[in-house]
């Protein structure tokens, strides 16, 4: 009987998956559609994971599809969340479903402990599954780490062998070996040793060594020596060295033009400042002249006024007495 139940359950599960396949269910497309707030796609994804007993994503997708019009999905999301053992989130899901008027959500939101106990068996299975998943993931990470460490160890060993071989060959005067040795040293961040090997390769008329040494010297501030090595590389028909030299020449020309332009701009600014100062002085002088003229006019208006001439009235009278007469004049203002 137990075998029959397992067979029936397996047949139902396969039939369910077959139903999704028959409908043309595409997991990636549905996930994208749900991310764009397609609630139908979210519900389909939730049902898909629910059938697989993958409770965590099932709860997430079903909760996203939980609306007042589709409030049954809210209870299903709560069940999936309860099966993960997350009591707090389960309570939230039930509250939301109750707000959307889902009767079961309202019923169990009052007694979350009982609701969680109903799914205790699934919670234990989910906990064991999660523990197993974490264990598998940890083993996978450890295996990847070990594989990476082994790979790096092999690479270091190979580089050590190459460095030793190229070093011996370089000492024997083989320019190509000096160049390859310099590249290995550069990779290992031994810049000074790398520079010395590039220079030696250049001395042995290895054009590429001249180019790399020249660039490193220029970057370190030794422009003249670096340019001399680039010239050497160009004379050995290294096109890249010649191109870099042309670039340096163009940079110098550009820098010279910029310097000349800066001097010209500065001269124009000084000339403009001088003219503005002259104009300002002229305006100030004109203003002072106007002020002085106004003050003179004001003093003229406010100066001492001439007194009006007094009008004098004179009367002449003749006086007579015995033995003679005389004239007498009296004046009044």
* Domain count across the chain: 2
Distance in angstroms (rounded) separating the CA atoms of residues 55 and 82 = 9
127/151: higher pLDDT: 151
Tell whether the model's pLDDT for residue 133 goes beyond 80: no
Confidence of residue 213 (pLDDT cuts 50, 70, 90): very high
Note whether 182 and 114 are same-domain residues.
Answer: no
Task: Look up residue 247 and give its two tokens.
Answer: 């670039």
Mean pLDDT confidence for 313-327: 64
Note whether 165 and 239 are same-domain residues.
Answer: yes
Q: What is residue 277's predicted lDDT score, i.e. its pLDDT?
A: 82
pTM of this prediction? 0.44
Q: Element (H or E) spanning 309, and its range?
A: none
Of the candidate ranges 80-84, 255-259, 278-282, 303-307, the one whose mean pLDDT is the lowest: 303-307
Strand partners, 316: 329
Tokens 């994971």 identify what position? 49
Task: Look up residue 237 and give its two tokens.
Answer: 């028909």
**Residue at a domain's end among 247, 278, 299:** 247
Strand partners, 314: 331
Count how many Cα atoms sit within 13 Å of the Cα of residue 306 in the half-sphere of its side chain. 3
Distance in angstroms (rounded) separating the CA atoms of residues 256 and 253 = 5
> Would you say residue 263 lies in a domain?
no
Distance in angstroms (rounded) separating the CA atoms of residues 264 and 253 = 16
Decide: helix, strand or coil at residue 238: coil
Q: What is residue 303's predicted lDDT score, i.e. its pLDDT?
A: 57
Note whether 27 and 78 are same-domain residues.
Answer: yes
> Which ranges of 65-206 does DSSP label H, i.e. alpha helix?
72-83, 87-99, 103-109, 112-118, 120-171, 175-187, 191-203
Mean pLDDT confidence for 57-74: 89
Distance in angstroms (rounded) separating the CA atoms of residues 130 and 128 = 5
Decide: helix, strand or coil at residue 110: coil
Nearest to 47 by CA among 274, 23, 265: 23
Mean pLDDT confidence for 111-132: 81
Segments forming the whole domain that contains residue 56 = 20-118
Domain containing 206 — which CATH number? 1.25.40.10
> Would you say residue 309 lies in a domain?
no
Confidence of residue 114 (pLDDT cuts 50, 70, 90): confident
Q: What is residue 329's predicted lDDT score, i.e. its pLDDT?
A: 65
Note whether 96 and 45 are same-domain residues.
Answer: yes
Task: Look up residue 248 and give its two tokens.
Answer: 């340096």
Note whether 113 and 25 are same-domain residues.
Answer: yes
> Would you say residue 105 lies in a domain?
yes
Tell whether the model's pLDDT for residue 25 goes beyond 80: no
């Amino acid at each position: 009987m137990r075998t029959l139940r397992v067979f029936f359950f397996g047949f139902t599960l396969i039939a369910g998956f077959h139903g999704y396949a028959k409908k043309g269910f595409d997991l990636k497309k549905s996930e994208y559609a749900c991310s764009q707030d397609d609630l139908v796609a979210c519900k389909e994804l939730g049902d898909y994971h629910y059938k697989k007993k993958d409770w965590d994503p099932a709860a997430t997708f079903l909760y996203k599809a939980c609306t007042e019009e589709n409030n049954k999905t809210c209870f299903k999301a709560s069940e999936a969340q309860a099966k993960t053992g997350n009591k707090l989130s389960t309570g939230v899901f039930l509250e939301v479903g109750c707000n959307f008027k889902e009767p079961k959500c309202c019923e169990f939101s009052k007694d979350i402990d009982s609701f969680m106990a109903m799914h205790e068996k699934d919670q234990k299975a989910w906990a064991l599954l999660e523990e197993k998943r974490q264990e598998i993931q940890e083993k996978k990470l450890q295996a990847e780490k070990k594989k990476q460490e082994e790979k790096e160890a092999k690479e270091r060993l190979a580089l050590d062998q190459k460095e030793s071989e190229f070093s011996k060959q370089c000492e024997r005067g083989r320019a190509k070996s000096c160049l390859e040795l310099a590249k290995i040293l550069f990779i290992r961040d031994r810049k000074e040793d790398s520079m010395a090997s590039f220079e030696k390769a250049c001395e042995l008329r290895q054009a590429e060594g001249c180019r790399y040494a020249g660039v490193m010297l220029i970057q370190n501030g030794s422009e003249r020596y670096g340019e001399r090595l680039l010239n050497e590389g160009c004379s050995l028909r290294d096109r890249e060295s010649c191109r870099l030299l042309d670039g340096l020449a163009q940079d110098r020309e550009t820098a010279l033009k910029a310097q000349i332009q800066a001097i010209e701009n500065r001269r124009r600014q000084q000339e403009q400042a001088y003219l503005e100062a002259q104009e300002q002085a002229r305006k100030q002088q004109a203003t002072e002249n106007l002020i002085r003229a106004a003050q003179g006019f004001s003093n003229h208006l406010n100066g001492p006024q001439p007194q009006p001439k007094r009008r004098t009235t004179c009367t002449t009278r003749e006086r007579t007495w015995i033995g003679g007469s005389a004239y007498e004049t009296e004046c009044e203002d």
